Amino acid sequence: MLKKKGWFTLLSLVLLVSVVLAGCGGNNNASSSSNAGSNGGSGNSQETKNLTFMFRGGPDEQKAYEGVVKKFEADHPNVKVKIVVTAADQYATKLKASITGNSLPDVFYFESGDLKAYVNSGVLLDLTSYIEGNSNIDLNNIWKYGVDLYRYDGTMAGQGNIYGMPKDVGPFALGYNKTMFEAAGIPLPDKDKPYTWDEFIKVAQQLTIDKDGDGKLDQFGAGFNVNWALQAFVWSNGADWIDATKTKVTIDDPKFAEALQFFADMQNKYGITPSTEQAQTLDTYQRWMKGEMAFFPVGPWDMSTFETLPFDYDLLPYPAGSTGKSATWTGSLGIGASAKTKHPEEAVELINYLTASKEGMDALVKAKVQIPNLIDMAGEWAADSSTKPANKEEFLQIVEEYGRVLPGHYTYNAEWYNLFFTDIQPVLDGKVTAAEYVKSEQPKMQKLLDKAIEQEEKSKK
Amino acid sequence: MNQKSNLYRKEKIYGFLFILPPLLGLLIFTLYPMIYSIYGSFTDWDGLGQMNLVGLSNFKDLWTDELFHKALFNTLFMMLGIPIGIVLALLLALGLNRGVPGTTAFRVIYYVPVISSLAAVSIMWNWAYNGDYGLVNQFLDLFGISGPNWMANKYTVKPALIIMAVWKGVGYTMLLYLAALQSVSRSYYEAAELDGAGSFKAFWHITWPMVRPVTFFIIVTNIIGGSQIFTEMNIMTPTGGPEYASASVVFYIWQKAFGNFQMGYASAMAVVLGAFIFVVTLIQFRMNEKQSFDVD
């Protein structure tokens, strides 16, 4: 008896499991047979194709993207999109873990700097054939800068096949507090002619004030986070972190040291920025928002937040170093598809909808989290004077004319570049001169770059 | 006879089925990754493509890797919090064991940080440590001390993390000590009192030896936990702190593996860390055996 009952339990369990499994299988069979029946026309509309889309972003951005995906589903009734959102700081870890674990979403964000590694190891779907032959996409109407970031020909990034589309381009412009200028009676900066470094210091010094006379400054000329603002000074002085072949670290160039020294001097010599101790990103960001800072970098993703500031702000070109020209970087995040996706057509369709369609772009731009990817739409957008900042044109000029990629983009990993910022504190504190620093740091960075190049060679085999 | 052996067999199957889930869990989520990462440590794996065996070269590189040495030093340095936590927890436990009014309330107060999410706690302390408007510096201001910007200064970032870790862990340790104290028989103290021992002597010769097993447990688990410290610095100093002053070994492993496509190298570090924890724990168990012998 007992024995029988035991086997009965086991048997029913097996049955249950097989019924469940058969249920899933049965669905597939049904849909594929309906496919076969209607393969004459465009009639596989019966079949629901499931896509997974993984991305990250702030709350405003999340809402905007979720809305666009909903619209996409409405336009494509046979496609269902499952959204996976992750906190920004966990995104890279999660993405890389899902690659290792072979569970990559169909469509996902990725950093342009990771392009080489992902292409060499066959993670990303080659989008070229889907995009170049697509009548819905006019590549000439999308920022060349943005698309080129996701091109790779096997040796050099920036040319060749397309492995992703820019989610957006993020020109990192310089903003200024217009209200503060007016209150101090200082003539507003020219939006087409950058300050020289000397002029910039002079204006900033006039705006660095101890208002209540307690011996503590409560209004500052500027606040720059070294990680994101030093580039503007180095590049406009004609120097760079890496040479044209992307194999040599060039920070030991005297022009580089000069720019870095100027950056440190803003605090130590000219006293126009909060002390380094106080200059964590959050603090300068808070100060700017409280109206205690004259100049502060502004990215398009900040527009929705800055819209409600109690003062008026606008954009101007970064102060120019010895080249006489402004410089800054343009960020970007790509949207790519998994090389293993079961529905490449639909995956690419979703990518296009998010990056290159009028409907998608319209919703995202209205949410004020980015500038339009479509050039004609961007022109209209910049001309609209009803939204802040007035000189939105500056954003477009950066993308079209003088914005650059961050130096880590072209190399297999950015470890060498990150080390520069890990060790920089003594320079900012004025304890080490820029000239000494670049000399001692160059070999360390070169060693890591050599390692990255070696890694890249191996990954191609 | 036949019937009985069937029953026995059946129970054996059921028993096996019951332990199967945790056993599978152990095999799939612990043993397999462990062996995989040991294998990975001998390869140049980037976490995406193929793995090529490179012998001991990862381990050789570790010898000369300045950042690894820094991370190792930081990790060991932050273990200074362990003895501090033990002393504080024991003092608190002794206090609460005396039956002061409101004991339960105090227990709850000290235990709340333990059950709070580490991420939330880190964000809260990050605010408290803020140089401009942080609670800590505002408090110091009351005494005319102008505090540093804790997380942005390479000399204060480690102590700041230690203070937070002690605050977070002290409730758990205290509870363990409290349980241990309550199991010490009153009769020992009565005997000691009759012999004329003062309260310090009673503590030193009765309480401390009696709670020694708990102390041993706390030290072992804290060192293992301390070697794997990660979340705090990941949230509070996402770039490893000023001049990498707050990066732990696990933080560096994570950066290498997920930031720089060096899964093989990261695996080598993980293996070294694992070996370190194993050896230290082994030594502690040996020492503990020896001491038990002495006490008896």
Q: Which residues of A touch B (CB under 8 A)?
A: 2-3, 6, 89, 92-93, 96-97, 99-100, 117-118, 120-123, 227, 276-278, 280, 282-283, 412-415, 418, 421-423, 425-426, 444, 452, 455, 458-459
A68-105 exposure pattern, b = at least 16 Cβ within 10 A, e = fewer:
bbebbeeebeebebeeeebeeeebbebbbebbeeeebb
Which of B52, B239, B258 is the closest to A96 by Cβ?
Answer: B258
Is the pTM for the entire model greater than 0.95?
no
- Through-space distance between the first and last CA atoms of chain A, rounded to whole angstroms: 64
All residues of chain A having their beta carbon less than 8 Å from the beta carbon of residue B132 are 278, 283
Contact B49 A459 (CB under 8 A): yes
Q: Which of A411, A414, A406 is nearest to A155 (CA)?
A: A411
- Peptide bond before B21: cis, by omega within 30 degrees of 0? no
pLDDT at B99 over 80: no
Sheet holding A173-177, edge to edge: A220-222, A293-298, A173-177, A313-316
* A273-283 per-position pLDDT tens digit: 887 555 554 57
Contact B47 A96 (CB under 8 A): yes
Range A342-358 average pLDDT: 92
**Distance (Å, whole) CA A34 – CA A47:** 8
Contact A277 B258 (CB under 8 A): no
Provide φ and ψ at B134, rounded to 5°.
-65, 150
Out of A274-278, B16-20, B97-101, give the one with best mean pLDDT.
B16-20
**Distance (Å, whole) CA A28 – CA A35:** 10
What is the dihedral angle through the alpha carbons of A212, A216, A221, A223, rounded to the nearest 10 degrees?
-130
Q: How far is B145 from chain A (nearest CA, A)?
A: 15
- In which band, very low, low, confident or very high, does the pLDDT at A134 lie, cut at 50, 70 and 90? confident
pLDDT for the residue A328: 96
B113–chain A Cβ distance below 8 A for any pair = no
Q: Is A166 helix (H, G, I), strand (E, B) or coil?
A: strand
The bridge status of strand A49-56 relative to strand A79-86 is: parallel
Q: Which of A353, A303, A369, A337 is nearest to A68 (CA)?
A: A353
Contact B262 A276 (CB under 8 A): no
User: Which of the 8 DSSP states describes residue A123?
Assistant: -
């862990």: which residue's tokens?
B169
Whether residue B61 contacts residue B146, with contact meaning beta carbons closer than 8 Å, is answered with: no
B17–chain A Cβ distance below 8 A for any pair = no
Contact A118 B48 (CB under 8 A): yes
Whether residue A208 contacts residue A200, with contact meaning beta carbons closer than 8 Å, is answered with: no
Question: Among residues 199-218 of chain B, which lie with CB inside 8 Å of chain A?
Answer: none
Q: Which of B241, A350, B31 is nearest to B252 (CA)?
A: B241
* A138-195 per-position pLDDT tens digit: 889 999 999 999 999 988 888 899 999 999 999 999 999 999 999 999 999 999 999 9
**Distance (Å, whole) CA A368 – CA A64:** 9
Whether residue A297 contacts residue A224, with contact meaning beta carbons closer than 8 Å, is answered with: yes
**Distance (Å, whole) CA A407 – CA A87:** 25
Which of A3, A414, A426 is the closest to B6 by Cβ?
Answer: A3
Mean of the per-residue pLDDT values of chain B: 89
pLDDT at A370 over 70: yes
pLDDT for the residue B131: 78
Q: How far is B258 from chain A (nearest CA, A)?
A: 6
**Distance (Å, whole) CA A300 – CA A279:** 22
* A296-315 per-position pLDDT tens digit: 999 998 888 898 899 999 99
B76 Rama sector, left if φ>0, alpha if ψ -120 to 50, beta otherwise: alpha
**Distance (Å, whole) CA A319 – CA B107:** 59
Question: Any residues with CB less than 8 A from the CB of A343 and at least 6 apart, and which?
Answer: A49, A50, A51, A79, A106
Q: Which of B94, B106, B81 is nearest to B227 (CA)?
A: B81
pLDDT at A9 over 80: no
pLDDT for the residue A279: 53
């049904």: which residue's tokens?
A30
* Interface with chain A: mutation pick from B36, B130, B258, highest number of A CBs within 10 Å: B258
Contact B239 A96 (CB under 8 A): no
* B225-241 per-position pLDDT tens digit: 999 999 999 888 888 88
**Distance (Å, whole) CA A380 – CA A396:** 11
* A194-228 per-position pLDDT tens digit: 999 999 999 999 999 888 877 778 889 998 989 99
pLDDT at B258 over 90: no
CA atoms within 13 A on the CB side of B168: 24
All residues of chain B having their beta carbon less than 8 Å from the beta carbon of residue A452 are 260
Range B288-294 average pLDDT: 66
Residue B37 carries which side chain, given as an amino acid letter? S
Mean of the per-residue pLDDT values of chain A: 86
Paired with A374 in beta bridges are A142
Contact B131 A93 (CB under 8 A): no
- Through-space distance between the first and last CA atoms of chain B, rounded to whole angstroms: 50
* Interface with chain A: mutation pick from B20, B46, B246, highest number of A CBs within 10 Å: B46
Q: Which of A293, A327, A320 is nearest to A309 (CA)?
A: A293
B231–chain A Cβ distance below 8 A for any pair = no
pLDDT at B250 over 80: yes
Contact A93 B254 (CB under 8 A): yes
Q: Which of A67, A140, A56 is nearest to A356 (CA)?
A: A140
CA distances from A137 to A13, A130, A358, A373, A381 (A): 53, 10, 10, 12, 20
All residues of chain B having their beta carbon less than 8 Å from the beta carbon of residue A117 are 46, 48, 261
| Interchain CB contacts (distance < 8 Å): A and B | 88
Range B157-179 average pLDDT: 94
CA atoms within 13 A on the CB side of B112: 8
